[in-house]
């Protein structure tokens, strides 16, 4: 039987996650990357498989994630359609195991696949109960959702993808790892990323209240959705001291508690989401991120802004695992108590709501929802034991001195 080579894409996953292709590329970058080898004799690097061999156009490959018990990409029918249409990922830690479905990369003018080439991707299906389904395997983005499906057409510019290499500084032993970009004409390239749909792992993005994809170079208020009136406002640093005039401030020199403001109108303090991979721009559902409060005039001794979980994970009613900023740091996989994920809560793509989940790397069994727990009248963020805390992300476009200390 002919062997099929493995092509590694960085699909960072945890207990309930699917895919997070690290780094990001947009056409805002002033560097022009040629899409052929003929412009000014420039030759782009070849995409390499796990054996270090160049990926050949028309040859079969299995796409898989090389870390955190990741699985392989496969084709399946999840909607009762005539032909299988779902681009899915096996997740062994969830018991979702199986063989990947081979894919082929389609390009007209080269025999070797190179980084940032505009390509089509199709599953290589040898037999089918329905002969016509063999020709329905080209990847595209679904019409109603941001999930990847099949049914695309070779030659259609709206089904172009590109491949970009990822340098994993935190995991230097991983070689020849790539991310996948969806690049429709005249638009910004989008990361392919992870989520769930009707119980199946799918490829999806996280969006703010304007419908825009969350970015690591922007900051956001994490707030209770307006439809849940009376549930409180946004996330901030605390403890909070209520003044007679209604103003609020922290009653510690360096506030360290992560908590929710009690007023619906108070959006709290903005945060940055910092992915594990260096230079990742787009924030993806179910990918591992550090969360960091924004300070635009930080004092040296009060740079305690990175979220972490304290106490015995996942905590109990008598011994809660609270969120704090006592000693967190960004970009360090060994700090397992500082990694969180964003997961979609509803099926409303026009008004998505999310929850925050704590999923320490390599400890998938301890994934826990971030909730609200009342302590002396303060709404502290805690793992599992409190009230549910659905959130939305409001982009912070403010300028100036916004920090408290």
SS3 track for 132-189: HHHHCCEEEECCCCCCEEECCCCCCHHHCEEEEEECCCCCCCCCCEEEEEECCCCCCC
Same domain, 55 and 124: yes
HSE (side-chain half, CA atoms, 13 Å) at 15 = 17
pLDDT tens digit string along 249-275?
444 567 889 999 988 889 999 999 998
pLDDT of residue 11: 42
Same domain, 226 and 185: no
* Residue span of the structural domain in which 23 resides: 1-204
> What are the backbone dihedrals phi and psi of residue 94, each rounded to the nearest 5 degrees, phi first?
-100, 5
Contact criterion met (CB below 8 Å) for 175 and 182: no
Contact residues for 143 (Cβ-Cβ < 8 A; gap 6+) = none
Asked whether the predicted pLDDT for residue 306 surpasses 80, the reply is: yes
Residue 214 lies in a domain: no
Mean local confidence (pLDDT), 368-375: 89
Same domain, 159 and 14: yes
Residue 211 lies in a domain: no
HSE (side-chain half, CA atoms, 13 Å) at 363 = 16
State the first-to-last Cα distance of the chain, in angstroms, to the nearest integer.
66
Last residue within a domain, chosen from 175, 204, 233: 204
Same domain, 118 and 157: yes
Same domain, 17 and 138: yes
Residue 248 lies in a domain: yes
Same domain, 155 and 244: no
Which of 2-11, 140-149, 216-225, 326-335 comes out lowest in average pLDDT?
Answer: 2-11
Last residue within a domain, chosen from 178, 204, 230: 204
pLDDT of residue 348: 78
Same domain, 154 and 235: no
pLDDT tens digit string along 21-77?
222 222 222 122 223 334 445 678 999 988 889 999 989 998 887 655 567 888 888
pTM of the predicted model, to two decimals?
A: 0.56
More confident residue, 201 or 33: 201
Same domain, 252 and 161: no
More confident residue, 339 or 311: 339
CATH number (domain holding residue 131): 2.80.10.50
Asked whether the predicted pLDDT for residue 223 surpasses 50, the reply is: yes
The whole-chain average pLDDT of the chain stands at 75
Same domain, 180 and 299: no
Last residue within a domain, chosen from 204, 235, 250: 204
Which of 6-15, 215-224, 291-300 comes out lowest in average pLDDT?
Answer: 6-15
Same domain, 228 and 184: no
pLDDT of residue 243: 40
Tally of domains within the chain: 2
Residue 210 lies in a domain: no
Residue 215 lies in a domain: no
pLDDT of residue 203: 47
Q: How much is the CA Rg of the chain, to the nearest whole Å?
A: 22
Return the structure tokens found at 170.
């935190």
Same domain, 178 and 96: yes
pLDDT of residue 284: 78
Split at pLDDT 50, 70, 90, the class of 123 is very high
Residue 405 lies in a domain: no
pLDDT of residue 391: 94
């Amino acid at each position: 039987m002919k062997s099929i080579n493995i092509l590694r894409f960085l699909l960072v996953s945890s207990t309930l996650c699917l895919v997070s292709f690290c780094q990001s590329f947009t056409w805002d970058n002033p560097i022009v990357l040629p899409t052929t080898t003929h412009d000014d004799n420039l030759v782009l690097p070849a995409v390499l498989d796990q054996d270090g061999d160049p990926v050949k156009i028309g040859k079969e490959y299995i796409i898989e994630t090389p870390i955190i018990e990741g699985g392989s990409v496969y084709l399946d029918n999840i909607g009762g359609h005539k032909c299988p249409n779902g681009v899915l990922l096996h997740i062994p830690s969830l018991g979702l195991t199986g063989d990947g479905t081979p894919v082929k990369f389609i390009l007209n003018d080269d025999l070797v696949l190179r980084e940032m080439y505009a390509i089509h991707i199709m599953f290589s299906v040898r037999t089918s109960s329905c002969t016509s389904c063999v020709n329905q395997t080209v990847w595209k983005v679904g019409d109603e959702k941001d999930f990847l499906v099949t049914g695309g057409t070779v030659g259609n510019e709206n089904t172009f993808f590109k491949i970009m290499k990822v340098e994993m500084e935190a995991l230097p032993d991983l070689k020849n790892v790539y991310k996948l970009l969806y690049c429709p004409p005249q638009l910004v390239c989008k990361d392919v990323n992870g989520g769930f749909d009707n119980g199946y792992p799918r490829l999806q993005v996280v969006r703010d209240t304007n419908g825009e994809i969350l970015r690591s170079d922007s900051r956001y208020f994490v707030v209770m959705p307006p439809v849940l009136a009376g549930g409180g406002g946004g996330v901030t640093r605390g403890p909070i001291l209520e003044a007679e005039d209604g103003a609020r401030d922290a009653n510690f020199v360096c506030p360290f508690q992560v908590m929710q403001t009690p007023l619906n109108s108070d959006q709290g303090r903005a945060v940055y989401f910092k992915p594990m991979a260096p230079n990742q721009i787009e924030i993806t559902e179910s990918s591992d991120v550090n969360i960091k409060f924004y300070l635009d005039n930080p004092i040296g001794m009060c740079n305690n802004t990175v979220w972490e979980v304290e106490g015995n994970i996942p905590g109990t009613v008598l011994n809660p695992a609270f969120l704090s900023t006592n000693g967190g740091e960004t970009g360090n996989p060994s700090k397992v108590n500082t990694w969180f994920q964003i997961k979609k809560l509803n099926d409303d793509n026009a008004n998505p709501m999310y929850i925050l989940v704590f999923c320490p790397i390599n400890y998938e069994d301890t994934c826990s929802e971030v909730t609200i727990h009342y302590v002396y009248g303060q709404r502290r963020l805690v793992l599992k034991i409190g009230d549910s805390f659905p959130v939305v992300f409001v982009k912070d476009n403010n300028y100036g001195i916004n920090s408290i200390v």
